[in-house]
Amino acid sequence: MLPNSILDEQEKTLAAYRDRNELAEILENYAALLRDFRRLKSDYEEERDGRERYKQLARGQERNPFVLVLVDGDGYVFDDDFTSGGTEGGSRAAKQLVDTVKKSLGRKGLEHCEIMVRVYADLVEALPRPFTAGFNRSYGLTDFVDAGELKENADFKLKAMLRLYAENSQCKHIYLAACHDVGYISELTPYRGSGDRFTLVRSPSLLFHDEFSKLNLNIEELPGVFRTKPLSLPAGPKPSSASASAPSVGKLSSASTPPGPQGAMLSDDSPKICAFYASNRCKYGSGCRNAHIDNKPPSSRTSRDGASLFSSDASRAWRTFDDNRRTVSRESTGGDGKNDVQLLPTSSSIPAGKIALNSSKHRLDAYIPPPTAEIISRFKIRSDQHKLCNKKHIGGYCPEGSFCEFDHSALPAELLPALEGLSRSMPCPRRGACRRIDCVYGHVCQKMDCRHRGGSAYCRFPYSMCLQDFTPSSYVSSERGFSTDDHSPTYSTEGHEEDGQF
């Protein structure tokens, strides 16, 4: 048996082993604490850096704040005192606009913001170059931009700018001067009720659509900047006996004055016309607050009803075109209107090889009567079989000849107006200066319900082509021959259904 001395020694050894095991556990726990500390330190540093970045971003958002003023220059016309003043007038217009906006910003507590102005318009038709030059150089952030000759170009630019800056934190407020066009409603709807963010600009010379009032946004006028009265056109020829004999039209002669260039609307005291009555869609009947006027001949009304023969999506473009041609806009076709499409010359009255011009030397197309339901049906059947070549059937010559992919075979004479009506609903790029006898495009707008003349239908034509004097004044010799860059439209029931053109 082991002596006590050995047992005591073994007990001491066992105690030493036990101490070493406890120390290892302590060291392991300590190492785990160090790892946790390093991880928490890393998380803290990331959070701290993120907070610093946020502070820098917040400071950047508060740096250089500005407000944006967007103006549809085709509709919101600057005061005559400015536009007639050349370069100086442009400078005064810019100053008046900026000063008026500054006063408005003072009431909003945004007087410290810079003011950026963007005006989009067709400068070829709208304003003289000296005016825009003076406007642009007056302030570093004021720009009068040429959007091109088509009305939708200005719309496209304004909507893009609106979308870009609506979510920009440095842009503290947006003034929109385009409330004569309901096309902007969809862009503003997401910001309904944001009166602290948006201000809609009202102009006395334009109709402020009720739909904008429903958005619950701030509405103001900018006094002294834009015209206070609608642009007016000189009185045209006396109305025809048929138009003059209609008592309802006679009572509304003041409402028949078409708007002037750049989309000026009717004055506020003009009687309102029911836009739904013409298409038989007014649900109020005799109780409607607006006037029910119908000065279309019976044949027109009958043929319009026939447009409902088509119900497929493929025929929607033709139906829209047909409705727009025959739905008479009372604002645009009154007895005193010089741009009543029925004043256009007939094809038989234009001498062979000649081009009809009005007193401004703007080319006029022959009046195209609305087709009947039977013609619509026959034309659709024919075009569905093989799309027709506009150049061949309307212009009389196709440079592609037998290589053309479209139908050159004989077209019954009674179907030709239907094809020509569709083809001439596309504006000619040369506008009223075109003198080509074989041009298949339109040189004046024959859409009865054209919104440029106070109607509600979309129109591809520039204002100047819708508001011409449609009375022929002279006939001049024509040119002939398609240029290499001519790409005339061909009838198709697919595409462009949204605007009713082909």
The secondary structure of the chain in percent helix, strand, coil, rounded to multiples of 5, reads 45, 10, 45
Do 121 and 154 form a contact (C-beta atoms < 8 A)?
yes
What is residue 172's predicted lDDT score, i.e. its pLDDT? 92
**Secondary structure of 71-121 in the HEC alphabet?**
EECCCCCECHHHHCCHHHHHHHHHHHHHHHHHHHHHHHCCCCCEEEEEEEE
Amino acid identity for residue 324 in this structure: N
How is residue 282 annotated by DSSP? -
Distance of alpha carbon 226 from alpha carbon 90, whole angstroms: 12
- Report the run of H or E that residue 65 belongs to, with start and end: none
What is residue 146's predicted lDDT score, i.e. its pLDDT? 86
Report domain extents, the chain.
63-221, 241-499
- Report the run of H or E that residue 366 belongs to, with start and end: none
Q: Tokens 């020829």: give the residue.
A: 237
**Secondary structure of 183-220 in the HEC alphabet?**
HHHHHHHHHCCCCCCEEEEECCCCCCCHHHHCCCCEEE
Q: Tokens 């009166």: give the residue.
A: 195
Q: How far is CA 419 from CA 190, 214, 258, 396, 438, in A?
A: 41, 42, 28, 13, 15
Question: What is the pairing mode between strands 114-121 and 142-146?
Answer: parallel
What is residue 99's predicted lDDT score, i.e. its pLDDT? 94
CATH class of residue range 63-221: alpha beta
What is residue 260's predicted lDDT score, i.e. its pLDDT? 39
10-residue stretch averages of pLDDT, the chain, 502 residues long: 73 74 74 84 87 72 85 88 89 93 92 92 73 89 83 82 88 92 86 90 85 90 86 43 36 36 40 57 57 50 34 38 41 51 87 90 90 84 84 82 85 86 86 88 87 79 86 86 44 36 36
Question: What is the pairing mode between strands 218-221 and 198-202?
Answer: parallel
What is residue 287's predicted lDDT score, i.e. its pLDDT? 57
Please write down the long-range contacts of 381-387, taking CB distance under 8 Å and 24 or more positions apart: 382/411, 382/415, 383/419, 383/491, 383/492, 383/493, 384/314, 384/493, 387/490, 387/491, 387/492
Distance of alpha carbon 208 from alpha carbon 199, whole angstroms: 13
Determine the distance from the C-alpha atom of residue 316 to the mean position of all C-alpha atoms in its chain, rounded to a whole number: 21
Distance of alpha carbon 176 from alpha carbon 270, whole angstroms: 26
What is residue 92's predicted lDDT score, i.e. its pLDDT? 93
